[in-house]
Chain A
Amino acid sequence: MPVSSAADGTPVWRRTTRRRALLAWFAWLMLVALVVAAWNEMTRDTIWAFVWDAPGQAADIGTRMLPPRWSYAGELLRPLWDTLAIATLGTLLALPIAVPVAVLAARNTTPSATLVRPLALLIIVASRSINSLIWALLLVTVLGPGVLAGIVAIALRSVGFMGKLIYEAIEEIDPAPVEAMQATGASALQVMDYGIVPQVMPAFAGITVFRWDINIRESAVVGLVGAGGIGLSLEASLNTLAWSQVSLILLVILATVLVSEWVSAKVRHAII
């Protein structure tokens, strides 16, 4: 127990040793220095007059947003349908890519831990590092603006997320059923079908619904770069400074997100 002595020789209890306290203090100092340096660098070109003006701007935008233009709701039905289609079809399109990648990446099912596994992990990392919106940006230049670019963007981003969670689920399975299947002389495919699939199925369904829920949020914004859905209406309303339409769109997105969260929670609760 770290103890130091007072001047008259009585021992005093301390939380840590002096050396550790010094080290911690130094680490905090470095962190503060880093943050101050970063702050100075970041705000070098900031025009503070605009920042101090922000509450006024916020109040101004607030008054323009209220009340929402309810009559615009009819024009949002089709974009909303497209947004749901982007999220759902994007998630479904990601599945046939994510599952094989996950099988190749899991230590207990990969055919080669030195050759194939790093490649599968690279696919997962590359897909995860690039945000859906950036995928959408790229795909809009390649496929042209529209729902299709959104679907592919959502799918490409989901591959990494689902692949990672599925391969972790595969690695955590109980090896006994797999060995039992092998002992009966089952082929590799049969082992997978009866030994592995039933064990990862609940996790797999949960992951899919979870990602679908996230994809609803993401598909609402991919339209900002031209990839279809309600984001397109948002972009159009922002460009024309139609703030009363913006607030209505934000309300619609909020409602959609809440509903999808509720659905996903219900489904995951039913599965697990």
Chain B
Amino acid sequence: MAVATSYPDRWRRPPFVARAWLRWVLYGGAVLYLVVAVGSVEVNWARLAEGLQRGARLLAGFMTPDFSSRWGDIVQGMRESLTMTVTSTVAGILLAIPVGIGAARNLAPLPVYLVCRAVVALSRTFHEVIVAILFVAMVGFGPFAGFLTLTVATIGFIAKLLAEDIEDIDPGPVEAIRATGGSWLQLVDWAVRPQVMPRLIGLSLYRLDINFRESAVVGIVGAGGIGATLNTALDRYEYGSAAAILILIIAVVMAAEYGSGLVRRRIQ
């Protein structure tokens, strides 16, 4: 019985999406969406031509950043941003630790777990800027609203990652402490803390970076910090000052990233 099967004599790389009909539906849908989406973008060409000139001025501002004429405002904005970053990171972590422990299924009973997971989900849902708008409406303009915003964001971030970390710990030490008759607090202190501490410190430093970057943004909606200064500079068409502020932001972020990388490498 001869089976007439012809095998291909040339190798072809397998397609990215295996099922043929799904591949064509996906590709076709993507192309259709792209055409419609690009078509729906309204471009004001006259404004764009004018914009080129402004872009050139912005670039010229970057070549000659003007640190001096708004130096007082810049210092004030930076001071607000940095203090906001430090206080909100610390406050956020202090609040995030109990929430994180509560959101770890191997340490907390089900009702506590569900409540803590809900807190985490709630504080991660909205973009920082939207949270900042609500806080500005509640406590007024200024860095205090920014502090509250960044604290809320920090709680969600640290608690989620801490909970996942606690759920991944080696259960050996936990059982050992239980076997000695240790209380729940002793269990957390002697079995869990030593295992998650290095990573918690790493996460905290990472969050410090993020909080500084975000502190530059919440100012746009009135929650204080360097973002407010930047917004004012752009509103006044002072591109030299705006460039100086952006350069300072990038410098601080790079310094913070480098510093926290150094510390994290030493700890882990």
**A residues in contact (CB < 8 Å) with B:** 31, 34-35, 38-39, 41-43, 45-47, 50-51, 53-54, 57-58, 61, 81-82, 84-85, 88-89, 92, 125-126, 128-131, 133-134, 137-138, 141-144, 146-148, 151, 194, 198, 201, 217-218, 220-221, 224-225, 234, 238, 250, 253-254, 257
A51 touches B86 (CB 8 A): no
Minimal Cβ-Cβ distance residue in B for A41: B83
Complex CA distance for A75 and B111, rounded to whole angstroms? 41
Give 14 A-B pairs besides A137-B234, A221-B127 with Cβ atoms closer than 8 angstroms. A42-B80, A45-B143, A85-B41, A92-B34, A125-B257, A128-B253, A129-B250, A129-B253, A133-B129, A138-B58, A141-B58, A146-B44, A194-B13, A254-B126
Count residues on chain B whose CB falls below 8 Å from chain A CBs.
59
Kindly list chain B residues whose C-beta atoms are within 8 Å of the C-beta of A146.
42-44
Within 8 A of A (CB), among B62-120: 79-80, 82-84, 86-87, 90
A54 touches B139 (CB 8 A): yes
* B180 beta carbon closer than 8 Å to chain A: no
B contact patch SS: helix
Complex CA distance for A128 and B254, rounded to whole angstroms? 10
A125 touches B250 (CB 8 A): yes
Kindly list chain A residues whose C-beta atoms are within 8 Å of the C-beta of B231.
137
Minimal Cβ-Cβ distance residue in A for B55: A142
Question: If A51-B144, A201-B16, A221-B129 touch, does A144 touch B44 (CB 8 Å cutoff)?
Answer: yes
B90 touches A35 (CB 8 A): yes
Minimal Cβ-Cβ distance residue in B for A193: B13
A254 touches B41 (CB 8 A): no
Give the number of residue pairs across the A-B interface with Cβ within 8 Å: 142
Minimal Cβ-Cβ distance residue in A for B225: A42
Kindly list chain A residues whose C-beta atoms are within 8 Å of the C-beta of B13.
194, 198
Kindly list chain A residues whose C-beta atoms are within 8 Å of the C-beta of B139.
50-51, 53-54, 57
B216 touches A42 (CB 8 A): no
Q: List 10 A-B contacts (CB under 8 A).
A: A38-B82, A46-B144, A81-B40, A92-B34, A128-B253, A131-B214, A131-B217, A147-B41, A217-B127, A224-B129
A129 touches B234 (CB 8 A): no
* B259 beta carbon closer than 8 Å to chain A: no
Minimal Cβ-Cβ distance residue in A for B56: A142
- Interface stretch, picked from B2-10, B46-54, B161-169, B170-178, is B46-54
